[in-house]
Structure 1
Amino acid sequence: MNTSTLATPAVPVCHVVKGKVVTGAAHEFGSPQARFATPALDLNDLVWTRREPGPAFGTPLAEIIDVLVATGERLKRDPDGLLAEALDFSVRTSPLPRDVLERSYAGLGRAFDKRGLLFQVEQELGGADVLDGWRLIDNTPSGRTHRMRAFPPRLIHVIAGNAPGVAAMSVVRGALTKGVHLIKLPSNDLFTATAILRTMAAVAPGHPLVRSFSAAYWRGGDAQVESLLFRPQFFDKVVAWGGESTIRSVKQYIGPGFELVAFDPKTSISLIGREAFASDAALAEVAERAATDATIMNQQACASSRVQFVEGSVEEVDRYCALLQARLGVQRETCSALGSPLPAELRDEIDGLRGMEPHYRVWGGYEGRGLVIRSEEQVDFHPDGRVVNVVPVASLASAVGCANVATQTVGVYPPKRKAELRDALAAAGVQRIVELGKAVAFEAGISHDGFLPLSRFVRWVNDEG
C-alpha cells in the first residue's frame, strides 16, 4: 500500500455553546493533508430568545472586568493545558508556523489587562455608567432632560483567522458590551476562541458572562446555516472580518433590524523619507523597521506593509532594497525566520520582471526568506508571502495618491513627517498612521478601521423627556 496517498487523521474541533463544551465528529472539512472534524450543529442552541434579556445584560461591568482579568491570568498560566492543546491542534491546520503561534498564544493574556479594559470603555463609550444604566443627558438646547443607554447587543462574529489575537479581541469586546455572542470559527484558526471561552468557564463556572458566548464552525457562506442564523429575530448585527468574498457573502443578509459592522479587507504601506540616507546606520535602522512592519504574522496581517515608497534616487533606493531583503528573513515575535515558499502564480509574475532592468530589479529568492521588487510604479499584482514592492519617489507627498480606502496602516519615517502627511492620507481614506516599525503596536480603545468598535457594537437607546 502506498502510504503517501493516505489522508491524515482529522483534527477534532470542539464547539462551545452558551458556555458548555460540545464534542463530536459529525462533519469533516478541509484538505486530505489538513482535515478537521466538527460536532453536529443544532441551530436552535446557537441563538438566544428575545423574550428575555441575555444572561449578562444586568451584570455590573466591574464584575465582568474581574472575570476577564482572571481569565487573562489563567491564560498566562494555562493550568488545564487548554492553550497547549489548542496550539498542538492549530499547528496541524493553521498556515502559521509553530513558533509564531507559540509567541502569539503566550501574549493572549495581555488583551485582558484591567487598565486596557477600562481604557476601552472610557475612550469608546465615555464610561461604565452608560453600560450599567441610563446616562443622564441634561443642558440640552430644548431644555429637556433625557437618558441614554448603550444597551447590550446580540451579535454574530465572523472572525478572521490570520492572527490568534483576533479571537481574544472579539471575546473582550463582546464581554465589555454585555451582549450575547455567537463566534463563527475560521478554518485557519479553529481553536483559539474556544480555548479562551473554556478558560473563562474554568474561572467562573456558570457565570452569566460565560453563558453569553457560543463558538462554532460551519463552512463560510453555507446558506443552509446562515440564512437561518443571520436574522433580526435572533441577532442585531454581524461583525465580519476577512476578505472581500466574506464581506460580500454576509451583505446579502443585511436588512432592516440586522446590520453589518465590517472590518473590511485592508492592505498597508510605508512612506520613507530621504532622511533614511543620512548615514549607513540610519539606513540599516530603517530597513529593520520596515522589515518588521512587512512581516507581521508572516505578512498575513492587514497591518503588514506590502508597498514601500522611498524618497531617493534609484541608486539610493537599490541600496535600501538590498538591506531590506536581508532583514525579511529574520525571526521576530510576530514572524518566523522562514516563511512558506512562494506559490507558482506569484513566482511566474516575478519571473516576468527579472531581466527587465532598469525598470525593475529583484532581490531574493522564492524559498520564503523574503523578496524585494523595485519598480518605477506599483506592481499590478498583490505582494504576499514576504514580498515587498519598493517604489522610488521624488517626494512622500506624491506617494499619498497611491493610498485609498483599502489602505489601513501607513508607517512613516522619520516620525516627525507624519504631521505633514496625515491630513492628506486621511482624505485619501487611510485609517491609521504610525511610526515606521510600529504597525503591530495596535492599541485597543482607539479607533479600529475608522470607527470605535464598542460604540458600534452596542444598541444606543434613548429615554426622552
Structure 2
Amino acid sequence: MTDTHSNQILAAPHFVRGQLVEGNDVQHRSRDLGADFATPVLSLDQLVTPRSEMPPLLDVPLSEIIDFLVETGERLDLSTNVHLQECLERLSATNPLPRRVVENLYRNARHFLNKELLMSQVEVNFSNPEYLDRWITKTDMLGNVSSVRAFPSRMIHMLAGNSPAGCISSIAQGALVKAINLFKMPSSDPFTCVAILRTMAEVDPNHPVVKSMSAVYWRGGDESIEKTLYRPQYFDKIVAWGGGDAIKNVISYLGPGLQMVSFDPKSSISMIGAEAFTDDDSIAETAERTAADVSVYNQEACLASRFVFVEANQDNKAQIKKYCAKLLERLNVDREVSSAVAQPLPNDTRDEIEVLEAMGDYEVWGKGDGRGMVILTDKPVDFHPSNKTANIVMVPSLDEAIRYVNVATQTIGIWPPERKTDIRDRIASGGGQRVCQLGGANKHAMGGPHDAMYPLQRFVHWMADEDIA
C-alpha cells in the first residue's frame, strides 16, 4: 500500500508513552477533504497513567527538558527527517492547505523549539520558574510558613487541524510544565504529532519527555472513548482547540476535578484610519498589509482577518474603492503561509453574494473562486467570510468599529500604528484579546499571552503545603 494516492487508505500510526503503535484496524475519513485513513485499535488502559504512578518528568530539571526539546528541534529538518517527509505526502490528501504551504511550515518547525523562545514562555508564565522544579517556601506577614509547587498535571490536548505545525507548540508546552500528555490528533492531520514524537524517540527513546507523551486519533464525540477518558480520576485538564461543536462536546464532560483550558473559536478583524487612503502609495501599502492578514493559512486561522473596518466619508469613497481593487490583486499572491488560489467559496455563499450584489447591497471585487474576494458594505455581512474573502465595512470613525469587538475577537490589526494606543483600552473592554499593526497578525512577540491568558500557569496543578502554628 502506498500512502501518496488520495484514493487509497493512509496509515496513521499512534504513539503511546514512548512506543510506536501501528495497525490499520479502524478506518476513518478526514473532515475537510474526505480522505480515508486507518489507525490501530485504541487501548484505553494504555492511555491512562494511574494516579499512583508519579509523572515521569517530576524530578527532571527544567533546564534538561529544554535541552532535550532543542535537540529534537535540531532534527526537525525536512530535508533529512523521514517522518516529516512521510507526513508531507500524506497531508496532501487530508489537509486543505496547499502542499507548498505545509512544506514551508515544516521547514520552520525547528524554530518552535528554540531555547530562547522556550525560556521566554516559562519566564513570563511563572514569577519564579523554580516552581516547576521544587517546592518554594515563603513566610507571610503573620509568620505562617507555606510551600508551593507547580505540580505536573494529566492533560488531554485536543489539537487544532488548521496548522500542521501547531502541535509542536503543544508538545513543547506539555513538556515545559512536566505534564503527562495525551494528544488527540485532528482528522485533517492525524500524522504530524506522531512524527514529532518519533523524532524525539530517536534522540532518546527512554527520556522522560518521551515517556510522558501519547498521540492518538479517535473520532471526536465518540462516547465509547470519551466517556471513559474524560474523567477526573484519569485526567485533570482538557486543553481544547477546535470548533464550537468540539468545545460544547467537551463541556458536557466537565465537573469537579476536570477543568477545560479552552482556545475556542475566534475571529479577527482589521481597523484602518482614513489617513491610510491619501494617495496611491499609501493605498498600495495598506492593501498589501491587509492581504497579508486576510490570507494567513488561506484564512483558516483564527488570527486571519475577515472584517476590515475603514474610516469612510463622501470625500474618500473613491479612494476606498481603489483600495478594494488593489486588495483583490494582493489576495491572489503566493505567500509563505498561503497560496495564490485557495479552495473556492461554498456555492451557497457565492449565490448569496451574487443576489445581494444584484440588489445593490454589496459592491464586489472577485468571483469567490479561491483567488480572493472583496465585498464593500455599510455593515458587516451576515455570513462568516472564508477562503480569502475580505468584507470591507465603511464606518464614520474607528470609534464606531469598536462596537463590533466582542469576546470572540482575537486579533485586531490597526493602521496607521499610532491609532492603536488611542483605542486599545476600549478594544480590551469590548473583549478583544490582541492588537497589532496591520500586516502583523501572524507575527508574535516571544512569550506573550494567548487568547488573553498565560496558558502554562493554567496547565499546572498548584499544590500548597502549609505549616501554621
TM-score by structure 1 length? 0.96
1:268 maps to 268
- CA–CA distance in structure 1, aligned partners of residues 311 and 125 of structure 2: 37
Task: From the superposition, tell whether residues 444 and 11 of structure 1 become closer, same or farther in structure 2 (CA, over 3 Å).
Answer: farther
Is 2:335 the partner of 1:324? no
Distance 2:113 2:49 in 1: 26
Match of 1:412, SS state, is strand
1:9 aligns with 2:40: no
Could you report, residue by residue, the CA deviation over 1:306-365 in whole angstroms, capped at 9, with x for unpaired residues?
0000112332221111111111111111101110111111111211122233x4200001
Q: CA–CA distance in 2 between the matches of 1:251 and 1:277?
A: 46
Which runs of no fewer than 5 residues in structure 1 stay unpaired?
1-5
Q: Which of 433, 436, 456 is matched with 1:434 structurally?
A: 436
Question: Does structure 1 residue 108 correspond to structure 2 residue 127?
Answer: no
Matched, 1:353 2:356: yes
For 2:24, the aligned partner's letter is A
Structure 2, gaps ≥5 residues long: none
| Equivalent residue runs for 1:11-30 within 5 Å | 11-30=10-29
User: In 1, Cα distance between the equivalents of 2:437 and 2:67?
Assistant: 34
- 1:3 alignment partner in structure 2: none
1:7–1:33 CA contact under 8 A, matched in 2:
no
Letter in 1 for 2:332: G
Structure 1 Cα separation of the partners of residues 285 and 73 of structure 2: 34
Deviation string for 1:135-169 (max 9, x for gaps)?
Answer: 2333x333323221111110000111101232011
Match of 1:464 in 2: 466
Number of the residue aligned with 2:95? 94
Q: Deviations over 1:79-124 (max 9, x none)?
A: 3411111111111111111011000111111110000111111100
Which region of structure 1 is more displaced relative to structure 2, 29-38 or 94-103?
A: 29-38
**In 1, distance between residues paired with 2:268 and 2:318?**
25
Q: Residues 260 and 419 of structure 1: is their aligned pair in 2 closer, same or farther, counting only changes over 3 Å?
A: same
Distance (whole Å) between structure 2 residues aligned to residue 52 and residue 7 of structure 1: 42
Distance in 2 between the 1:164 and 1:127 partners? Answer: 32
Counterparts of 1:177 and 1:296, CA distance in 2: 29
Distance of 1:329 and 1:79 partners within structure 2 = 32
Does structure 1 residue 218 correspond to structure 2 residue 221?
no
- CA shift for structure 1 position 77: 5.7
Once the 2 structures are TM-superposed, how far is the Cα of residue 443 of structure 1 from its aligned partner?
3.6
1:334 aligns to what?
Answer: 337
Contact (CA 8 Å) 2:78, 2:106: kept in 1 or not? no
Aligned residue pair count: 458
| Residues 353 and 362 in structure 2, CA contact (< 8 A), matched pair in contact too | no
Equivalent of residue 391 in structure 2, options 373, 389, 392: 389
Whether the aligned pair in 2 keeps the contact of 1:135 and 1:148 (CA below 8 Å) is yes
Contact 2:75 2:81 in 1 (8 A): no
Q: CA deviation at 1:76?
A: 2.5
- 1:39 is matched with which residue? 40
Q: TM-score, normalised by structure 2?
A: 0.95
* Aligned counterparts of 2:165 and 2:263: Cα–Cα separation in 1: 14
Counterpart residue type for residue 154 of structure 1 = R
Identity %: 47
Q: What is the distance in 2 between the residues matched to 1:83 and 1:444?
A: 25
Asked whether the equivalents of residues 8 and 33 of structure 1 are also in contact (C-alpha less than 8 Å), the reply is no
Tell me if structure 2 keeps the 8 A contact 1:274–1:312: yes
User: Which letter maps to 1:405?
Assistant: V
Question: Is the CA contact 1:61–1:131 (under 8 Å) kept in the aligned structure 2?
Answer: yes
**In structure 1, how many angstroms separate the alpha carbons of the residues matched to 2:232 and 2:446?**
29
Quote the Cα distance in structure 1 between the aligned partners of 2:234 and 2:175: 18
